[in-house]
A and B are shown apart, each in its own frame.
Chain A
Amino acid sequence: MTGEVMSQVPLITVVTFLPLLGAFLIALTNPGRVRFIRTVALVTALVDFAVCVPLLAGFDVSTPSVQFVEKHAWIDAIGSSYHVGIDGISLFLVILTSFLTVLSIGASWTSITHRVKGFMVSMLILETGMIGVFVSLDLLLFYIFWEAMLIPMYLIIGVWGGPQRIYAAVKFILYTLAGSLLMLVAILALFFIHHGNTGEYTFDLLKLYGTAIPGGVELWLFLAFFLSFAIKVPMFPFHTWLPDAHVEAPTAGSVLLAGILLKMGTYGFLRFCLPLFPRVSLQAVPAIAILAIIGIIYGALVALAQRDVKKLVAYSSVSHLGFVMLGLFALNTQGVEGGILQMVNHGISTGALFLIVGMLYDRRHSRMMEDFGGLWKRMPVFAGFFLIVTLSSIALPGLNGFAGEFLILVGAFMKNAVFAAAAAVGIILSAVYMLWMFQKVMFGEPRDGDGEEQSAAQKHGSVFFDIGARERWILVPIVVLIFWIGVWPGFFLSRMHASVDALLETVRNANAAPVESVEEAASRGLPTLTRQLMHGGEEDSEGASQGASQEVASAMEPDTQADEGGE
């Protein structure tokens, strides 16, 4: 296929909406045709992953600008368009999404037995939603994907989850919604501020970059975005929905939750918080770094106390994502690139851990460590995979976890040695809890469960029969990636350089420029929205629409309250 033909294919649209098409096809199928439904889902996910190959191959490493751009009019009245594309920051997240979706569908092959149709439809819609979040370059479009993706995940947890699934699903969706509604308010505020500045109504992210936001307002908008993303990441102390959701979700749900959904938070910081609010972001660095470090150590310590393998992995996510945040807010090349790499790594390693826990659960119907032990003897092939994934999670050099975490530490150390040292404690602790878990599950004398698992035991000689071809083919690509990223991180880093440098440049320039005071902004005709935002409250979006249409004259009046807020 020549480049010319390639450029005519709307690759991003295909990647994003192909799963939706598959879901549509499945929706038309008779729910009884389980095998056909599974096959369609898997093939759709595989084809979608295959479409990512030209995305990776055709990606131009030399330019920081967004590539594979597609832009079509959508809702002209409010200046929202269908604007999608990828750059070095989102490239690997898109690929990771389609990769993990394939594995998740594979992992659900036999473990999901009721309402298969609904499950596969949810999975594919979820994939569209997740990819949509990463490719959107229009704030409204982004927000729609962001919210849309919650619903299939809510269903996956709530319908196919464990005993406490309703509680976990409701907690997940309410907590996330609470955050994202604040973000919606901030998006609208940004929309009107931009209109006030330029007279143009637009949700286009690239146009909104560099919008001059008066000091005090910037803080509030930042906080709204921050809260939404921090819940998603999740940063300490907004993390408590995560263990519940993970423990109750079916394997596929946990994999995508940990692998992709959490990355939306960190991605959001990179794509929105840093370039939209560069000045506040810079001021927020110490606070965010401290929260990140607390998250690293706290998550690791709480993981140490767990007896439920899935919960342990969930808390370890809090710790690992703390590393990502620390890297991103080091605001230097190593930190940010390490952070992005670590997002991918965490998706792979933690996704793999959930897959592995799922395989154990399929056999023993338990997640408690004390129900396992001595599995190495029974499942030697599985043991090898589990070992590699465990080592990747504790950042053994040569494996992927190290590449990400060490770069993050380099970045953090350049910024603040004490922060880096504190974060490095997390690396010790990760070895403590992971090896503890590994020992409990794999070492010791083999023990077999009793009761309901006996039929399987009779068939295979033990409940813990070793993994078969399907499970093996799920784990092999993961192990390949673990080594690939660990040994040759340069392949991935080189595709991030341009975008990351441009992003950092933006932040630097914005902070180098003299800070615009509110009076100056007002003198350029900033609407009264500014002042209304200062007072906070839920009426902001209403007030904003009025404020934007109000005459400029009122904005010219000096506003002491806004001034105070700006300081």
Chain B
Amino acid sequence: MLEHAWLILALPLAGVAGNIFLGGRLGRRFVSALSCGVVGLSFVVSVACFLELLAMQPAQRHFERHIFTWFLSGSFKVEGTLLLDPLSVLMTLVVSGVAFLIHVYSTGYMAGDSGYRRYFTYLNLFTFSMLTLVLGGNFLVLYVGWEAVGLCSYLLIGFWFQKKPAADAGRKAFIVNRIGDFGFALGILLIFRTFGTLEFGEVFSGAERLFPSGSTLITGIALLLFAGATGKSAQIPLYTWLPDAMEGPTPVSALIHAATMVTAGVYMVARCSALFVLSPLALAVVAIVGLATAVYAASIGLVQNDLKRVLAYSTISQLGYMFLACGVGAFAVGIFHLMTHAFFKALLFLVAGAVIHALAGEQDITKMGGLRSKLPVSYWSFLIAALAIAGVFPFAGFFSKDEILWETLLRRGPLVWALGAVGALMTAFYMFRLLFLVFHGTARHEGHVHAPPFSIKLPLVCLAVLSAVGGLVGAPLLFGRHFVKEFLSPVFRHVNGHVAAGTHEAGAGHFVVSELSMAVVSVSIAVLGIVLAYRFYVISPDVPQRLKERFARLYSILFNKYYVDEIYDTLFVRPLVSFATALWRHVDALIIDGAVNGSAFLVETASKVSRRLQTGGVQNYALSIVVGAIAILAFWLLR
């Protein structure tokens, strides 16, 4: 099947073409069947590839396929290469699997929308792009996918383009991502200049061979690449587009802005682990940015009232944890968390979508409540997902997040761990705040609650199962084996040599005990967060109000998201616009064009003046002859 891995890409692309050229004529049923079908088949092919890879010896699990020569100009040669190795296949499984479920969900969620065909065209295009991103065998193919998912994100955020906020949010997302991609593109150029190639394999082995740890050049490359990652994966300072991206349809938020696209940065950093491990500085930057984002975004999530925005800040925060994992050198763990996060965060969004759908578009959690009995499937799914993200044993998020904290403790010490733990506490708190406000208590909304159709419930159940048990593939304490880490180990084999050097090695027995005890601590933190939320929002609902009044200033800073949007607006956006206008009105129109028109004016004036010499009147000529003669005479006589 590996030979036919191109099908993974070709199928969704065929879906795009089919929707564009046939979808209009053949109607909605065709669009639904085609769009879901191609992605489903793509998932099947991915599974086949995964199984085939699994059947090989671990060291040989690497398959490259050159499809065509894309660029050839002098020494600059880029192939269209597909790369299947454990990392990309794992990503492919997650992407195509979650994408399939969300396609199915969308057939129910978008059923009444007039842009149905357009929606599925974009969604298929997104799936194609995201799969290109993860399967690309060199930096430029990766970059193609990278930009193309950005495009789909732009189109889907602005899907309801009649609404100005949606159109604005789409544009903002694209431009903020472009700023990050500026760094990414320069990083690619620097890689080419340094290594003379953009193929992953050659670059990574070249880096290992040619550069010592701590080399400035590699640090530069790694930091430039990471700049791209901060844009795509919504990290400080380029995260501001993601909360606004919630203007898009909710399934889009689930697929693109939670489960897959935003994790592209994490994937890219993990893919380039060979470069990052050579630069302790770059790794430290990744870890610091990740940790700061994790805590920062979680703190904003504590007080927001828009259901989807809370989830958006939660996504930003969880992405921070993934980068933290990469930054401490535990790339496999970062990818593991990426995977579990894809399950439970997609689920959270899909439930949110079901709730919003049921309440005819209401997103404000202060106007919900009491939905537990009316939407049982949604409630139980949300509960599972919330337990998973909070990190309660044995749900998926527990294994991955606990491991991130554990690795952090091992490699960066207790202080960094403590910060990460505070973030985890906040995560548990805001997630159960949502749960209690939306599903418990009394109903604060009016009108009929629509029951979700089957196409919406099915994906919820599938993802709920995955969120519940998906973490078991990485539970060494239970099975003695960490399947994800083992599977990914060929990709990250060079990491251990570099990063492990910095860890304090201790006795194996001591390790097990302390990892176990730390796991207990993790769970306790999660439970503490849940209990706090229960106390605040179920037992004594007046507490939040009192706290709000007591800490009014802190509350308003958090509620207004630290005013970062306003600060960016004042510092960058408005100066740019007024500078551009000034440049046009003053420099271009007045100075540059003024000089051009001025020279024309000078010529015209000069000729107007000199025209007076040629009046055609004989008297004038006679007069000037006389005056001239007198002048000459006077000159001669008075000399």
Contacts and interface: CB of A to CB of B under 8 A. Distances in A.
Interface of A: 171, 174-175, 237, 239-241, 298, 301-302, 304-306, 332-334, 337-338, 374, 376-377, 380, 384, 391, 396-398, 402-403, 406-407, 409-410, 413-414, 417, 420-421, 424-425, 427-428, 431-432, 435-436, 439, 442-445, 487-490, 493-494, 497
A68 B140 CA distance: 37
B182 A425 contact: yes
A240 B593 contact: yes
A376 B158 CA distance: 12
B73 A333 contact: yes
Nearest to B166: A443
B174 interface: yes
Contact of A332 (B70, B74, B148, B579): B74
B497 to A, nearest CB: 31
Contact of A420 (B69, B171, B186, B579): B186
Contacts of B74: 332-334, 337
A306 B583 CA distance: 11
Contact of B182 (A304, A332, A424, A488): A424
B596 A428 contact: no
B26 interface: no
A424 B185 contact: yes
Interface in B580-599: 580-581, 583-585, 588, 592-593, 596
Nearest to A496: B73
Interface in B136-176: 140, 143-144, 146-148, 151, 154, 158, 161-162, 164, 167-168, 171, 174-175
B71 A490 contact: yes
A421 B186 CA distance: 7
Contacts of A298: 583
A235 to B, nearest CB: 12
Interface of chain B, main secondary structure: helix
Contacts of B583: 298, 301-302, 305
Contacts of B147: 396-398, 402
B576 A407 contact: no
Contacts of A302: 580, 583-584, 588
A410 B70 contact: no
B162 A443 contact: yes
Nearest to B167: A443
Contacts of A338: 73
A439 B73 contact: no
B450 interface: no
Interface string B5-21: 00000000000000010
Given A435-B175, A490-B69, A240 B162 contact: no
B148 A398 contact: yes
Nearest to B172: A435
Nearest to A438: B171
Contacts of A427: 178, 182, 185
A410 B192 contact: yes
B623 interface: no
A483 to B, nearest CB: 12
Q: Is the interface of A mostly helix, strand, loop or mixed?
A: helix
B193 A413 contact: yes
B179 interface: yes
B469 interface: no
Contacts of A334: 73-76
B415 interface: no
B171 A436 contact: yes
A254 B451 CA distance: 56
B600 interface: yes
A413 B189 contact: yes
B499 interface: no
Contact of A428 (B68, B70, B182, B193): B182
A105 B592 CA distance: 34
Interface string B304-329: 00000000000000000000000000
A410 B182 contact: no
B295 to A, nearest CB: 29
5 contacts: A171-B600, A301-B580, A305-B580, A431-B174, A488-B70
A417 B580 contact: no
Contacts of A406: 140, 185
Nearest to A432: B175
A380 B593 CA distance: 39
Nearest to B143: A397
B571 interface: no
Contacts of A494: 72
Given A241-B596, A396-B148, A397-B147, A410 B584 contact: no
A240 B598 CA distance: 13
A365 B568 CA distance: 38
Nearest to B155: A387
A439 B167 contact: yes
A493 B162 contact: no
Nearest to B603: A174
Contacts of B592: 237, 239-240
B178 to A, nearest CB: 5
A425 B185 CA distance: 11
A304 B70 contact: no
B118 to A, nearest CB: 8
A403 B70 CA distance: 9
B414 to A, nearest CB: 40
Contacts of A241: 596
Nearest to A430: B178
A304 B161 contact: no
B577 interface: yes
A20 to B, nearest CB: 33
B179 A428 contact: yes
Given A333-B74, A435-B175, A444 B584 contact: no
A520 B305 CA distance: 83
A43 to B, nearest CB: 30
Nearest to A446: B162
Contacts of B174: 431, 435
Contacts of A306: 584
A409 B580 contact: no
Contacts of B72: 490, 493-494
A488 B588 CA distance: 38
Given A241-B596, A432-B175, 17 more contacts: A240-B596, A302-B580, A304-B577, A305-B584, A334-B73, A374-B162, A377-B162, A396-B151, A397-B144, A406-B140, A406-B185, A424-B182, A436-B171, A443-B158, A488-B68, A489-B70, A494-B72
A558 to B, nearest CB: 39
A490 B70 contact: yes
Contacts of A398: 144, 147-148
Given A240-B596, A376-B161, A443-B167, A397 B148 contact: yes
A420 B189 contact: yes
Interface centre among B143, B179, B580 (most CB of A within 10 A): B580
B528 interface: no
A337 B74 CA distance: 9
A398 B145 CA distance: 9
Nearest to A300: B580
Given A302-B584, A410-B192, A444 B161 contact: yes
Per CB-CB distance, the 10 closest pairs between chain A and chain B, nearest first, are A333-B74, A443-B161, A240-B593, A443-B167, A305-B584, A397-B144, A304-B580, A413-B189, A305-B580, A305-B581
Contacts of B110: none
A174 B164 contact: no
Please indicate which of the listed interface residues B71, B118, B192, B585 has the most CB atoms of chain A within 10 Å of its own CB: B71
Between A239, A396, A406, A487, the greatest number of chain B beta carbons within 10 A of the residue's beta carbon is seen for A406
Contacts of B577: 304-305
B190 interface: yes
A271 B596 CA distance: 28
A444 B576 contact: no
Contacts of A332: 74
A445 B162 contact: yes
Contacts of B154: 435
B164 A444 contact: yes
Given A301-B580, A490-B72, A435 B185 contact: no
